[in-house]
Amino acid sequence: MKQQEQMGRRRSSLNLPEGFLWGVAAASYQVEGATSADGRGTSIWDTFSETPGAVIHGHTGAVSVDQYHRYPEDVRLMRDAGIGSYRFSIAWPRIQPDGSGAFNSKGFDYYKRLIDELHREGIGAAATLYHWDLPQALEDRGGWPNRDTAHRFRDYAAACFGELGDIVDMWITLNEPWCSSVLGYQVGVHAPGSTDRSAAWAAGHHLLLGHGMATEAYRATGLTAPIGITLNLEMPRPATNRSEDIAAADRAADMHTRFFIDPLLGRPYPQRHFDAYPDAVPPPVEAGDMERIAAPIDFLGLNYYFEPVVAAAPVNADNPEGYREVPSHHERTHMDWPIVPRGLYRHLKWVWAHTDGRFPLYITENGCAVRDELTEDGTRCHDPRRVDYLRQHFRAAFDAIEDGVDLRGYFVWSLIDNFEWAFGYTRRFGVVYADYINQRRVPKDSYYYLREVISGHEEV
């Protein structure tokens, strides 16, 4: 009976906290195109995607869905779905083509046009300052492993606060600094494509330092829109309840999670992780850095896609941390990511406890890649797997709210199919289908589902 009640339990968005924010998310390099328009400088993703072998089929973001020119249509799509906020990112090379020195007013103009259009339709503007498109000129001077980049980021952020501060409704300093540092400088599958662990740690530190300095600069402006950061933490699930697997899962969270969240809370970096790699150089922390990184924020943004499973493994030179990922029974998306909605519940509860509930939380990204196809007549796209994915994840998030987590909003990744980094255009995450040949946008079933959830007509 109890089980039946549980299974039958359904929630509608009408039960959500007052003011719950429903949004969709995207990032400049993934959707804007127009990479040489109006004085935009070159970013590390332009360079990387033009490097043979770096991105599937040699795809680049040069055109993508051309949101730079077609934003009114995308804003209308958001309006028609009842979306409350658009999380977009500002392309640093549009604002400051060389990453230092002169600012480009035409770059600011684009974001003013976009935000005006959003506001005209009653949609809030959630601006991310850095979603991976570092000006190439800064990479040429050492990129994020170079401390100076943190100072350059502070200056760029301050200029954005000055020009856009009266119209942006919510600021996010960085998107997923784990990806910028580890995928960009250690694994090498993201721009700039380096493979150096010490560089990744230095990059991670300077990203966080840049975040802290930008946050301090923001406070000095007296602006009042909330400011926060978006992290993609990972708390792997131990494969079994054996203590070795529990300990292995805990170690696996050192770089992905503790490195990024603990300094925001005024806690040190996970020394245990650095000790595991004695040949690498720990992050170059200078006096006062950790205090700056811990500059108070107004919320924490979380991107959640899946929860891996980890088991203990023998410690050796190739595996000094002694853990390995193991398979699970979960169905997988087109990214080969397991679909683990309960992991989102666990994740929210873990973050809430780990942060002592000191910041409200937002899910700033969640969604899935599906092999979507248009119907023969080209007017519809049936994506029942995405509808299921979203429904189950919404439910997990609502359960967390019910169990005391202060979750204030949920941004679905993404409004429209786009350039999925090293996967180019081969992975579709949108609730709107992009026909890249003629730039036609076709809402998928998941778009209509999202509209119904937001309006409160569809049960979750």
- Which residues make up the interface to ligand FCB (CB under 6 A)? 27, 30, 175-176, 179, 232, 303, 365, 413, 420-421, 429
Q: Please say if 365 is a catalytic residue.
A: yes
Q: How far is the CB of 266 from ligand FCB (least distance, A)?
A: 26
Q: Which two tokens stand for residue 446?
A: 């998941």
Q: State the alpha helices, DSSP H only, in 15-122.
A: 28-31, 44-49, 67-81, 92-95, 105-120
Tell me which H or E stretch contains 361.
Answer: strand 361-365
Beta carbon nearer to ligand FCB, 238 or 341: 341
Separation CA 260–CA 258 (nearest Å): 5
In angstroms, give the least distance from the CB of 335 to ligand FCB: 7
Please enumerate in sequence order all residues whose Cβ is within 8 A of that of 52, keeping only pairs 6 or more positions apart, or say none.
58
Residue 331 falls in the annotated catalytic set: no
Options 234, 307, 365, 458, the catalytic residue? 365
Let me know how long the chain is. 460
Spatial distance between the Cα atoms of 225 and 184, rounded to a whole number of angstroms: 31
Instruction: Kindly report whether the peptide bond that precedes residue 414 is cis, defined as omega within 30 degrees of 0.
Output: yes
Q: Which is nearer to ligand FCB, 84 or 177 (CB)?
A: 177
Catalytic residue among 176, 234, 307, 420: 176
The two counts, helices (H) then strands (E), for the chain are: 17, 13
* Least CB distance to ligand FCB at residue 424 (A): 11
Q: Which residues contact 58 (CB under 8 A, 6 or more apart)?
A: 49, 50, 52, 424
- Closer CB to ligand FCB, residue 83 or residue 172? 172
Q: Give whichever of 187 and 280 is closer to ligand FCB, judged by the CB atom.
A: 187
- Structural contact between residues 205 and 288, judged by C-beta atoms closer than 8 angstroms: no
Shortest distance (Å) from residue 316 CB to ligand FCB: 30
Question: Whole-angstrom Cα distance, residue 304 to residue 411?
Answer: 11
CA dist 398 and 17 (Å) reads 10
CA 88 – CA 108 distance, rounded (Å) = 14
Shortest Å distance, C-beta 2 to ligand FCB: 37
Q: How far is the CB of 30 from ligand FCB (least distance, A)?
A: 6
| Peptide bond before residue 177 is cis, with ω within 30 degrees of 0 | no
Nearer to ligand FCB, 176 or 399 (CB): 176
30 or 104, CB closer to ligand FCB? Answer: 30
- Give Cα 166 distance to the centre of its chain: 24
According to DSSP H, which parts of 50-104 are helical?
A: 67-81, 92-95
454: CB partners within 8 A, 6+ apart? 13, 22, 81, 82, 83, 84
Closest approach, Cβ 365 to ligand FCB, in A, equals 6
Tell me whether residue 13 or residue 414 sits nearer to ligand FCB (CB atom).
Answer: 414
Active site residues: 176, 365
